[in-house]
Amino acid sequence: MSGDASAGPASTAEPTGDADAADGARATDEPRPATYYHLARAVLYREFLIFVRYPANAIGGIVVSLFFFAALFLGGQLLAGQALADSIEGIVVGYFLWTLSVGAYSSVSNDIGSEVQWGTLERHITTPFGFAPVALLKGVAKVVRTFLTSAVILAVMLLATGTRLSLAPVTVVVVAGLSIVSVLGLGFAAGGVTVLYKRIGNWLNLLQFGFVALISAPVFDLPWTRVLPLAHGSAMLQRVMVDGVRLWEFPIADLALLAAVAVGYLVGGYLVFQLATGRARRLGVLGDY
């Protein structure tokens, strides 16, 4: 009797220990909630895989950009001659900023259009993060890739034209990065309009050529143009790469205006995107194409 009694508590203790171990195993096996860090890492890794798996497409984009620059440079030499040679530094810097701008703009607007066409838009909307943060991080990832490809284009342009520019990495990245943030906002607005009206690719592509006018805007003769996208940043980038001005040598007012224009257009584009996608939901045309 005593042996059975003593064995009873021991036999009940073992299942309790096994249950605790099982509960602990289940707790460790449960999926943890995804964070924005995981989202950013996944988006950047996806962009890297696309770049690695389809190198011909990436190289083709570089070749097309260099072809247009060659046509611009050789045609300008025939028509302008020495006048082009005197302004070649500004043309190289402006074309470099234009390639960055087109990449930032199309990274959002074209990507959203592709999601609508492929029928995968709803998957992004049903994520815990929402569609706008996913689209923004995808745009940032493509801007990083655009910086790399545009750097290759810039190096080839410098070698082909024999031009020498000041390439302070931190200053160039900060000024150029803030300059194209405003274009990222335009891409957001264009993406929202794409979700609502679907096939408007021709109008969206037309805006890319408007970047040329913004980059070459006469900000010194018309000070109000500084509040336009790219205009103020283009003037500052010219001073950085042509005149060798460093970031800390700019007046605080110029840096503040550059940051304010970038944030203003990004927030404005985000609001337009939210309003357009909200209207598309109410009309029931979110997944239509």
User: Is position 162 within any domain?
Assistant: yes
Could you tell me the residue range of the domain that residue 149 belongs to?
89-283
Q: Report whether pLDDT(260) > 70.
A: yes
Q: Give the pLDDT mean for 213-227.
A: 85
User: Is position 231 within any domain?
Assistant: yes
Do residues 193 and 276 lie in contact, with contact meaning Cβ atoms separated by under 8 Å? Answer: yes
State how far the Cα of 63 lies from the Cα of 50, in Å rounded to an integer.
18
Q: What is the pLDDT of residue 31?
A: 60
275: enclosing H helix or E strand: helix 252-283
Q: What is the pLDDT of residue 250?
A: 92
Q: Which residues contact 226 (CB under 8 A, 6 or more apart)?
A: 219, 232, 235, 257, 261
Bigger pLDDT: 242 vs 204: 242
Q: What is the pLDDT of residue 83?
A: 45
Rg from Cα positions in the chain = 27
Q: What is the pLDDT of residue 77?
A: 58
The count of structural domains within the chain is 1
User: Is position 224 within any domain?
Assistant: yes
SS3 of the chain: helix, strand, coil, percent, to 5? 80, 0, 20
Strands (DSSP E) found in 33-171:
none
Q: How many CA atoms lie within 13 A of 147 on its CB side?
A: 17
Bigger pLDDT: 38 vs 239: 239
Q: Which of 143, 158, 142, 148 is nearest to 95 (CA)?
A: 158
Q: Which residues contact 148 (CB under 8 A, 6 or more apart)?
A: none
Alpha helices in 119-168 (DSSP H): 121-125, 131-161
Name the band, by pLDDT with cuts 50, 70 and 90, for residue 12.
Answer: very low
Name the band, by pLDDT with cuts 50, 70 and 90, for residue 100.
Answer: confident
Do residues 176 and 95 lie in contact, with contact meaning Cβ atoms separated by under 8 Å? Answer: no
Count CB atoms within 10 A of the CB of residue 228: 18
Tokens at 230, concatenated = 């790219």
User: Is position 48 within any domain?
Assistant: no
Stated pTM of the model: 0.78
Average pLDDT taken over every residue of the chain:
77
221 three-class SS: coil
User: Is position 262 within any domain?
Assistant: yes
Q: Characterize 104-141 residue by residue with b for buried, 16 or more Cβ atoms within 10 angstroms of its Cβ, and e for exposed.
A: bbbbbbbbbbebbeeeebeebbeeebebbbbbbbbbbb
Do residues 195 and 286 lie in contact, with contact meaning Cβ atoms separated by under 8 Å? Answer: yes
276 three-class SS: helix
Q: Report whether pLDDT(7) > 50.
A: no
User: Is position 163 within any domain?
Assistant: yes
User: Is position 279 within any domain?
Assistant: yes
For residue range 142-190, what is the model confidence (pLDDT) as tens digits?
Answer: 788 888 888 888 888 888 888 888 888 899 999 999 999 888 888 888 8
Q: What is the pLDDT of residue 175?
A: 92
User: Is position 62 within any domain?
Assistant: no
Q: Report whether pLDDT(14) > 60.
A: no
Q: Give the pLDDT mean for 65-92.
A: 68
Q: What is the pLDDT of residue 65?
A: 83
State how far the Cα of 112 lies from the Cα of 184, in Å rounded to an integer.
13
Q: Which of 73, 226, 75, 243 is nearest to 162 (CA)?
A: 73
Q: Report whether pLDDT(191) > 90.
A: no
Bigger pLDDT: 65 vs 268: 268
Instruction: Mean pLDDT check: name the lowest of 20-24, 102-106, 274-278.
Output: 20-24
For residue range 244-256, what is the model confidence (pLDDT) as tens digits?
Answer: 889 898 999 999 9
